[in-house]
């Protein structure tokens, strides 16, 4: 069953065409790693899926909602599609628990005690139950990123988007965050993740999408695509990131 459907997506910033007719279907439960050089359009692609960026052409459908329709309710869509950013983007004026509870209360209208229970459960899931009352600036980058993941998960998303969520972290903190993602994978969460962690892509993703100059240049099963790239562009990209 297709959870995400992109048909002939065109995205421009002014005269610059960043996405050039993208076609992509992501099935429920699939874990798609999106790789490619800097500027190839990976982040833009993710941001189009939850309508943070409007597109100039094509059709996007997520979980039965036609995102590109003029009447689409983007807030309702985003309440069901989680997104985690490279820069964490926790709310600095709220403690960890309230970071997680805010959207639950405002968007889902969850009563406070229940929202608090959810926050605790999500924090346990990412291994940070003891940081419930800490403020973001009291946490390490890896801890902040796990709180950001917990904050998204609290909304019970049907799809999670991750944009290079380990790129801003010290190497020794990357593992904790990747372990959380592995847990999500075991739970069957559908994920689209932009990553430079090739080992992670190979071991956890089922599928790899290689973007090159605004197009999907290669698309296939993770292990196979990464070990036996078909195109020269992917070969040279892989040799650049692996060495």
Partner 1 sequence: MIREFTSPDVVYLMLAARWTIGLALVATVGGGLLGLLIALARILPIPPLNWLAIGYINLIQGTPLLGQLFVFFFGLPLLGFSVGAWTAVALSLSLYASAFFGEIWRGALQSVPKRQWEAGAALGMTYRHRFTHVVLPQAVRIAVAPTVGFLVQLVKNTSLTALIGFVELTRASQIITAATFAPLQVYLTAAAIYFVICFTLSQLSRVLERRLHGTG
Ligand X SMILES: Nc1ncnc2c1ncn2[C@@H]1O[C@H](COP(=O)(O)OP(=O)(O)OP(=O)(O)O)[C@@H](O)[C@H]1O
Question: Which spans of this chain sit near partner 1 (rule: CB under 8 A)?
Answer: 50, 52, 75-80, 82-83, 85, 87, 89-95, 98, 102-103, 106-107, 135, 151-152, 155
> Closest separation between CB of residue 184 and partner 1, Å?
17
Report if residue 225 touches Mg ion, rule: CB under 5 A.
Answer: no
Q: Which of 43, 95, 110, 143 binds Mg ion (CB under 5 A)?
A: 43
Tell me the DSSP string of 139-197: S-HHHHHHHHHHHHHTT--SEEEEESTTTTS-HHHHHHHHHHHHHHHHTT--EEEE-S-
> Closest separation between CB of residue 127 and ligand X, Å?
27
CA–CA dist 97, 133 (Å, integer):
6
> Closest separation between CB of residue 231 and ligand X, Å?
17
Q: For the chain, give the longest Cα–Cα distance.
A: 55
18 binds, among Mg ion, partner 1, ligand X, none (CB under 5 to 8 A by kind): ligand X
Q: Give the orientation angle of helix 141-153 with respect to helix 96-106, to 10 degrees.
A: 20
CA–CA dist 17, 149 (Å, integer):
31
**Looking at the chain, how many residues does it have?**
243
Q: Which of 42, 78, 131, 146 binds ligand X (CB under 6 A)?
A: 42
Tokens encoding 153? 């998960």
79 binds, among partner 1, Mg ion, ligand X, none (CB under 5 to 8 A by kind): partner 1
Beta strands in the chain (DSSP E): 2-13, 16-27, 31-36, 57-62, 65-66, 81-84, 159-163, 191-194, 207-212, 215-221
Q: Which stretch binds ligand X (CB under 6 A): 32-40, 115-123, 141-149, 179-187?
A: 32-40
> Closest separation between CB of residue 123 and Mg ion, Å?
28
| Contact residues for ligand X, defined by CB under 6 A | 13, 16, 18, 36, 38-44
| Contact residues for Mg ion, defined by CB under 5 A | 43
């Amino acid at each position: 069953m297709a959870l995400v459907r992109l048909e002939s997506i065109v995205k421009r910033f002014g005269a610059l065409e960043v996405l050039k007719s993208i076609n992509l279907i992501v099935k429920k439960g699939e874990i798609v790693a999106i790789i490619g050089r800097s500027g190839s359009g990976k982040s833009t692609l993710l941001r189009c899926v939850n309508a943070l960026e409007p597109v100039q052409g094509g059709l996007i459908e997520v979980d039965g909602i036609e995102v590109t329709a003029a009447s689409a309710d983007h807030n309702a869509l985003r309440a069901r599609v989680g997104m985690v950013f490279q820069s964490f983007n926790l709310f600095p004026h709220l403690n960890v628990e309230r970071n997680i509870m805010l959207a639950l209360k405002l968007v889902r209208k969850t009563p406070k005690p229940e929202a608090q229970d959810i926050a605790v459960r999500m924090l346990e899931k990412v291994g940070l139950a003891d940081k419930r009352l800490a403020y973001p600036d009291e946490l390490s980058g890896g801890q902040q990123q796990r709180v950001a993941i917990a904050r998204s998960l609290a909304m019970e998303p049907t799809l999670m988007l991750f944009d290079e969520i380990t790129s801003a972290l010290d190497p020794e903190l990357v593992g904790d965050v990747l372990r959380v993602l592995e847990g999500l994978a075991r739970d069957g969460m559908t994920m689209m993740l932009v990553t430079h962690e090739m080992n992670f892509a190979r071991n956890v993703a089922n599928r790899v999408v290689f973007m090159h100059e605004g197009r999907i240049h290669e698309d296939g099963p993770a292990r196979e695509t990464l070990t036996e790239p078909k195109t020269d562009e992917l070969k040279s990209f892989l040799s650049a990131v692996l060495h």
